Structure 1
C-alpha cells in the first residue's frame, strides 16, 4: 500500500493540469490504484477532468480476460459515482513483443498519457527482447510519466549460492513482513505467498537465463538500462515521500517498515532489508505520436 500510494501520487502530480488523461496499466489486477487516481481527479480544483481512459494490458488467456473485464466494470461504476467521464479498454496480446502502438486509442495532443508498471517488468525482461520492444512502444506513446515498482533483487547470478543468498535475504524479509501484517488465514496473504513461492523457485531452482520466468533487477541496474534506452529519471516528490512515511506510521508494525530515498526514487524496506523500489521515468526525446482511430477493446 505504501509504495503503491507513492507511485500513484506521482501519476497524479504528472497529470495535474490535464483535462484528458489516458492511464495505461501493465498489471491492473483489482484496479485499486485506479480508484485512487479517480478520487484525486474528482477532487482537484480548477481543471475538471473531461475524460479518463484506463487501458489494461495483459497476455492472452480466458481467466485474465475475465478478471480484467470485471475490474473494468467496477471501475466504470466507481467513475459514475464520482461523475467522471470514463472509458475502459483491454488490450490482450500473446506476448509483450506483440504489443503495438496502434492498439492504444490515444487522444490528440491534449491527452496526457501515464504508464503504471507494478512489479511486472521483471516478467517482460525474461522474454527475449520483450522489455526492449515494450520501451519502443511506450516511447511512441510519449507518456508524461512511467511509474515503475520492482523488487530489489537480481536473479542473474550463474552461481547457485549467490542466487540462494539473495533469495534468502529478500524473501525472508518479505515473509517476516507478512507474518507481522497478516493473519495466517488471510486470503490476501495466501495470494501473495503463492505468487512469491513461484518467484523463489524460479530464482533458486531454474538454471539458465533463457528458462527463467522472472528476471528482476535492483534500482541501480534499472537506471543503467533505462539510460541506455533514452529515458530520464523523474524525482518522486517530497510530498509523495512524506505522505508515504506518514502512512507507514499509521500501521501497527510501522516501526519495522522503512521508507528511504535512493537518489530520485523511493525504496521501502523491512527491518533494514530493501524490498521494493518505486521510480518514475520519461523519454528524453519523444517522437511525434501517431494516431489510429480504431479502438481496441
Structure 2
C-alpha cells in the first residue's frame, strides 16, 4: 500500500521528474551536451526542425531556445519541434504550450506539433511537415531501449529516420547491459547500476522524502523487478551499452560525430551548479559521452550523421 508521500507525489508526477532533474546531474548534463551537438550542426540554418521521439518535460528545449535566441551571427527565423508519441497526448500538449510561451519571451518564433500514433510501426516520413529550407535534427532520449525486444519496430523506425537524412541524430540511452539471457549476469549488472542511482538519491534528495520515495518505489522498482525476475516477452525493460548500439547503427550507414571540446568543457562546468556534482563522473568512450555516478556508468550521449 502506498504511503501518503507517494500518493501525493503521484498526483503531480511531473514534479517528481523535475525534482530529480534539478537535484541529480545526470539528465541536465546529457541534455546540455546533446543540445550543444544539435546547435553546432544547424548553426548556419535560418529554419530548424527538431523531431523528438519521446518528448517529456522538454527541459532540454529551454536550453536550445536560449542558445538560438542568443545567436547573433545567423539568427534563427523559425524553430519547429515535432513530438512523436503513442500516448500521453495531454501531457505533451502541455509541454508544447510551455515551450511556445518560453520562446515568445525570447522573441523566437516556435511551432510545436504532435504526431500521434497507435504504434511506432505506423510512423512514416510523410507525416512530418518538412520544409526544404529547414535543417532537420532528430533527438531521442531513452526511447530506443523500449524497442530492444521488438526488432521489427527498431528496423522500421531506423528506416524512417534514415530517409529523413537529418543533419544530426542525438541519442541518450542507458549505459548498462540488462539484456543478458543469463539471470546472474542481469542481476549483477542491475545491482551496480541501480545501486548508483539509489546512492545518488541518498546524497542529492536526502531532504526531499516525498519525491525520493516515488522515484524509488514507482519508477525504479518496476525496472528492477522486470529486469531480474521476468523472462521472454514479459521482460520489457532491456538496456544495452553504447558498443551494442554502435554495431546496430552501423548497419544503417550511421557515422558517430565527435562531441566538441567546448561542449565537454561546459558540461563539466555545469556540474558545479549541483550540490552533489562532484560525485557525477564524465568520461569519453570513443566519441560518446558517458555520464556516471562515482565511476559507475548510468547513461551515454552520442551524436550521429548518415553517410
TM-score calculated relative to the size of structure 1? 0.90
Q: Name 1:52's counterpart in structure 2.
A: 79
Residue number in structure 2 paired with 1:154: 177
Correspondence for 1:114: 137
Write the distance in 2 (CA, Å) between the matches of 1:8 and 1:183.
Answer: 30
**Distance in 1 of aligned mates of 2:209 and 2:269:** 25
Deviation at 1:184, TM superposition (A): 5.6
- Where does structure 2 lack aligned partners over 5 or more consecutive residues? 1-27
Instruction: Tell me the alpha carbon deviations over residues 124-159 of structure 1, each in whole angstroms, 9 at most, x when there is no partner.
Output: 222241111111101111111111111111222121
Partner of 2:149: 126
CA distance in 2, matches of 1:54, 1:150: 21
Using the TM superposition, give the Cα deviation of residue 249 of structure 1 relative to its aligned residue in structure 2, in angstroms: 3.0
In the other structure, the counterpart of 2:128 is 104
Q: How does 1:271-286 map to 2 (within 5 A)?
A: 271-284=294-307
Matches for 1:195-214 after TM superposition, within 5 Å = 195-208=219-232, 210-214=233-237
Alignment correspondent of 2:57:
30
Assess if the C-alpha contact under 8 Å between 1:96 and 1:124 holds in 2: no
Say whether the 8 Å CA contact 2:162–2:252 is kept in structure 1: no
Q: Partner of 1:82: helix, strand, or coil?
A: coil
Q: Is the 8 A contact 1:8 1:37 kept in 2?
A: yes
1:192–1:231 CA distance, 2 compared to 1 (3 A): farther
Give the Å deviation of 1:191.
5.3
1:11-33 C-alpha deviation (Å, 9 max, x unpaired): 11111111100011112111111
Contact 1:79 1:86 in 2 (8 A): yes
Q: What's 1:17 paired with? A: 44
Matched, 1:259 2:293: no
Count of matched residue positions in the alignment of Structure 1 and Structure 2: 279
Deviations 1:140-197 (A, max 9, x none): 1111111111111122212111110010010101111122112363665455432222
Preserved CA contact (<8 Å) 1:27 1:117: yes
Secondary structure at the counterpart of residue 72 of structure 2 = coil
Take 1:230 and 1:22, find their aligned partners in 2: how far apart are those partners? 22
Q: Which runs of 5+ in 1 are unaligned?
A: 285-297
Match of 1:236 among 256, 259, 266: 259
CA distance in 2, matches of 1:21, 1:190: 39
Task: Encode CA deviations 1:203-246: one digit per residue, 9 max, x unaligned.
Answer: 111112x3322221101111111111211101111111111111
Contact 1:182 1:189 in 2 (8 A): yes
TM-score (norm. length: structure 2): 0.87
* Structure 2 counterpart SS, 1:149: strand
